[in-house]
Structure 1
């Protein structure tokens, strides 16, 4: 039975199935809902696309296959909640990302220009323009007639509304910032108020065509500074947009949970996801607004296991609210219906379990069911005339195929929900994950990189913020048992007794450099991985950090087809290995406090050093567990939870400890497809010897003396 009181996200675990009613015939709805219910879901979610419901301005169609009210009521009949996703932008492979054609035809001034004054070619509109907001108000007002009486507190089943979808994503992936007159006017006002400098770029910032042209085609002299300023500004604009959308519903008497959804995974990896966090993190503090993620990592293996951990921990670091995933990939991965991929369905089980223990409290299996892309009433001559661009059918990779037949991933949705509900039951939904005293810096400035124009700093930042830092160092920490958190270093102070790990590039703002120096001066321990900074985030020279550390970057070395760059340990901690990049680290010859940890072979110059509480690694390491453990142990940090056993048993087996006021619980994920035999230690004490089946998730209460 549905609890008819207003629900706050996080009070209970929400496991949802995304079913697009508008892609199904009415007679198909009930069977799809039954399949979701049988899979253990307690909620249905769906986009409500403006494109299909108002194909002609002022003429709303909520009949037949588009009768969303009837669909929501049918969901309620099965005792299930509903999450409404009404856009205005919904994406979902729909034409214009779900925006009606008539918007573009009747209001072409809402289509922005971007770099070099070119009109954008994607479906982007000027979010905050009054003419767009007023049309959204009409759309939401019509929807409110359906949504309001069906809110949970009004004896309905709607528990949340998602506002828009993947805000800023189109601008990012197309490198198309909104540089319309309207938005540039707002930018100039914001910039003037922030810096009180109308000559910030070397010319008078007036609101005229000449200045617009200079900003749309910035010269190298000020392009770095402009892109940095604009990136900060537009994040505040996104928050204003979300607040406007929320206010429209609230003014219509709709009091509920609101969700913002973050885009960012790419190619089965999470390296770019923090850009999406950065774009929307200013929306997180808004009242009754809860963040959510898009998780498309494909096959879940040692290749990308750490990506999901990092995404979730960055969410924990940037928001103090409950969060979840509104697009939690659950299918075969064969999105093109060309046998392009066949994801192991155990991936869904393991990703769901890790998300839950890290703090996700709502998971929406996306896309749960395929369907049909109907023809538009007035067919555009665009090759198919349908509501979407994927052809007649949609959702080829879904656990329930377009014709309604459950495919092989379907049964694994059931299997994914079982451990979630078991953990929730055994812990009463009240537990904390046990972490080590290690924090990794989330540097927002390193993810304000979605736009580029004469941008020299972006390639350096992109390489140093992730890739080898994630794929060798952070992954190795997880393998060794270290359960690190992230910290939003721009907003929070480092923790005194913890180790602070920082990805470092040639660019780093003065405020972050100073925060690091101040932390070290107070006795804090810091590990810098990457390239020591010489410039601030806006491209201006800034050497505050290296001046205070008295360690500076020297010559850079890169491997080539004739130069096999290698690194060795002066102390014999590890065998010499090949690498692709290294930076000489320079310090005074009389400095006896500085220990050389690694040197460049044949060149005999240090590329990893330790000086007191500071460790700097300026080369791309392999997965050197022995070396990384040596560094952390020498700094006084030992993993609380640890596996012992053969290498084949330890690698790919991930234990986690949960605790509440009364109990402690062990969760172990075997990420490999063969049986493991391991001993698990917590703070040096044996807490059990385990034989773990292939892909098994172990969950049990443990007694610690």
Structure 2
């Protein structure tokens, strides 16, 4: 069996293949019940088994590793993989070293923490890390990981696709950098700080470092980095983010070397990107920013999402679309889009009915990701199980391998006891939707109108900020205010509601092709080189829509006025709302029929040649302008203004782009997309996310789809139609 990644497809023995996986943890299920769980996975329609292979469970008290079941039959990894193969399932191997999965120390044996204390990070002010993260590049840690990977390779190598076995891909580690991010604990071990200093001295002159606030003397460097003063924090935030991203990429390269040594390097190598929180996907691009260098352009690599949104709302659907567009833009044309933890189940993760996910959500999310060209989905977690007792003592408050008590996977479609749970029918239906479309979905590509949302990875390098720094708080606040999704995070949902089929473009990639219109949500911080590239695009006939503010400074808080200078704009003092103050804007000129609305902030703009679109209601000072530049146009909205779908359609239309897909009669909450196969077959995707029925007629590229026939969708349903 041959597995390849070509033209954003997985190809199995040369044919496009849609990977439909379900996650089952063999080590949590009694061995006599393995076959029954795998049979349920086959019954659900999956064609692939995904599983963590946790180091913490397989390593024994004497340091030996049991992968054959000599200590406990549930540790016979090869037997589990063989049972999957007998059922025609391929296998996605996830051997860590970190696995998370609610395992003790996130899947890392606690022995490493005592045997190698130097791997334990310290962060700001030298404080110990509050999570189980380690210094990924510590030599002792890497030596231990190599040993683990070589042991895993003994089991998986003869079962790899290259050897005629079922193992088709290997995930390297899991959610790299996530623990550091969520705890705001950058890795500042002595080794890491020394490496950071070496990098800075190799890339910057001593005078430049001193001007940025770095100490010149080596003995002062560690204290300055761990406890920076206000003069250094701006540069340190940027430089440290750059250093850590390079470190993650180096770590992944080393892991790939271990995997290759273990005989699995010819399989697709997967990177699981983390980032959703509190039911929102808008933080997910932080994970993309952290890990992009670890996967982008690396032969044989691709990345996947890890998302937990619960019940899918219109806002959630729009966010999910946006972040997967960003993830796709962060890759190269060869690398397929995947979701390595595709949320399945009831949402009752605590087993206390504290949260329940609408069962239609998993089906709607499946339809949405397929419409965006996803080639692999791993329904996580498919089957629950039991956290067995670990005979080794530990200080984390539990004597089990897992941290959820005896039972694990309360929310899973298959319960810890192996019965079909409440979420099993919807999971079967969602996998069935994908399986029924697989013949086309394995190769179709989404069609986009001639616009894209701009993705600036460095805008999302905000995971680490020195506590108590006023300047850092201001810079991060300005970055997070409108990045990506625009003011009020309205851009993705309003674009979709207006009928635009959009993707994304990485504005830091000089090779990325810019569409006619780039839509960019941004505050006042944007790199000078990105401003200059966008200006060149507009001057040559392109279009640009800026939503949020006029960028005038870079990420180091230095002047960056390419936009202002080229467009003849002079920004005034920022006007903010607050207690008893309600700054408002009045649409004017081409938008004069719209009503005044209150905002949280606006920036007045003096101009030389623009057409006013928005003015401050009490002063008539413009804060929204349409400006000619060269052969193109720029629209700048320097205000916390979220244009509704009809208004956004008008703004975009004035910039020369109209939606190719028009839905007449649509109520809010109807997602639409089109895809095309390499053979030219086209498909219309309609997903009714909200709770009211939809009756619409559809026009595509100016021609009615199926004449005057209405498309009817019940609440919380979706359809796919062949349209040519």
TM-score (norm 2): 0.92
Partner of residue 280, structure 1: 291
Counting only pairs closer than 5 Å after superposition, residues 583-602 of structure 1 correspond to structure 2 as 583-587=603-607, 591=608, 593-602=609-618
Partner of residue 230, structure 1: 240
Change (3 A) 1:282 1:494: closer
> CA shift at 1:626, angstroms?
2.8
Counting only pairs closer than 5 Å after superposition, residues 185-584 of structure 1 correspond to structure 2 as 185-197=194-206, 199-202=208-211, 208-254=218-264, 255-284=266-295, 285-320=297-332, 321-425=335-439, 427=440, 429-453=442-466, 454=469, 455=472, 456-466=474-484, 468-469=486-487, 471-492=489-510, 495=513, 498-571=516-589, 572-584=592-604
Q: What are the ranges of 5 or more consecutive residues in structure 2 without an aligned counterpart?
A: 12-16
> CA shift at 1:447, angstroms?
0.8
Change (3 A) 1:118 1:381: closer
Q: Deviations over 1:123-163 (max 9, x none)?
A: 11111111111111111111111111111222321111111
Partner of residue 14, structure 2: none
Please state whether the residue corresponding to 2:382 is helix, strand or coil: coil
Change (3 A) 1:287 1:541: same
Higher deviation after alignment, 264-273 or 522-531: 522-531
* Mapped contact 1:14–1:42 kept (Cα < 8 A): yes
List 4+ stretches of structure 1 deviating above 6 A.
Answer: none
* Mapped contact 2:383–2:415 kept (Cα < 8 A): yes
Q: Which residue of 56, 62, 82 corresponds with 2:61?
A: 56
Please state whether the residue corresponding to 1:72 is helix, strand or coil: helix
* Mapped contact 2:604–2:621 kept (Cα < 8 A): yes
> CA shift at 1:418, angstroms?
2.4
Higher deviation after alignment, 288-297 or 545-554: 545-554
Q: Deviations over 1:179-231 (max 9, x none)?
A: 11211222122222222436514477668442111111111112110110111
* Aligned counterparts of 1:429 and 1:670: Cα–Cα separation in 2: 23
Please state whether the residue corresponding to 2:252 is helix, strand or coil: helix
Change (3 A) 1:636 1:382: closer
Q: Which residue of 628, 633, 638 corresponds with 2:658?
A: 638
Change (3 A) 1:518 1:388: same
Does residue 693 of structure 1 match 2:693? no
* Aligned counterparts of 1:238 and 1:282: Cα–Cα separation in 2: 8
Change (3 A) 1:552 1:464: farther
* Mapped contact 1:265–1:271 kept (Cα < 8 A): yes
Does residue 85 of structure 1 match 2:91? no
* Mapped contact 1:188–1:205 kept (Cα < 8 A): no
Q: Which residue of 633, 637, 644 corresponds with 1:624?
A: 644
Please state whether the residue corresponding to 1:212 is helix, strand or coil: helix
* Mapped contact 2:345–2:427 kept (Cα < 8 A): no
Change (3 A) 1:57 1:214: farther
Change (3 A) 1:413 1:207: farther
Please state whether the residue corresponding to 2:465 is helix, strand or coil: coil
* Mapped contact 2:210–2:216 kept (Cα < 8 A): no
* Aligned counterparts of 2:277 and 2:121: Cα–Cα separation in 1: 26
* Mapped contact 1:266–1:272 kept (Cα < 8 A): yes
> CA shift at 1:309, angstroms?
0.8
Higher deviation after alignment, 325-334 or 406-415: 406-415
Q: Deviations over 1:319-343 (max 9, x none)?
A: 0201311110011111112212211
* Mapped contact 1:185–1:207 kept (Cα < 8 A): no
Partner of residue 161, structure 2: 152
* Aligned counterparts of 2:480 and 2:98: Cα–Cα separation in 1: 28
Q: Which residue of 92, 97, 107 corresponds with 2:116?
A: 107
* Mapped contact 1:330–1:345 kept (Cα < 8 A): no
Higher deviation after alignment, 254-263 or 597-606: 597-606
> CA shift at 1:578, angstroms?
2.6
TM-score (norm 1): 0.95
Please state whether the residue corresponding to 1:324 is helix, strand or coil: strand
Q: What are the ranges of 5 or more consecutive residues in structure 1 without an aligned counterpart?
A: none
Question: What is the aligned residue count?
Answer: 692
Partner of residue 605, structure 1: 621
> CA shift at 1:57, angstroms?
5.0
Q: Deviations over 1:613-662 (max 9, x none)?
A: 110112222452232122112112110001011xxx33212222222333
* Aligned counterparts of 1:610 and 1:527: Cα–Cα separation in 2: 9
* Aligned counterparts of 2:515 and 2:243: Cα–Cα separation in 1: 35
Change (3 A) 1:547 1:700: same
* Aligned counterparts of 1:122 and 1:641: Cα–Cα separation in 2: 48
* Aligned counterparts of 2:684 and 2:236: Cα–Cα separation in 1: 50
* Aligned counterparts of 2:188 and 2:454: Cα–Cα separation in 1: 32
Change (3 A) 1:13 1:495: closer
Please state whether the residue corresponding to 1:598 is helix, strand or coil: strand
> CA shift at 1:402, angstroms?
1.4
Partner of residue 650, structure 1: 667
* Mapped contact 1:644–1:650 kept (Cα < 8 A): no
* Aligned counterparts of 1:524 and 1:445: Cα–Cα separation in 2: 24
* Aligned counterparts of 1:348 and 1:446: Cα–Cα separation in 2: 30
Higher deviation after alignment, 4-13 or 340-349: 4-13
* Mapped contact 2:627–2:635 kept (Cα < 8 A): yes
Change (3 A) 1:428 1:487: closer
* Aligned counterparts of 2:346 and 2:643: Cα–Cα separation in 1: 30
> CA shift at 1:532, angstroms?
1.6
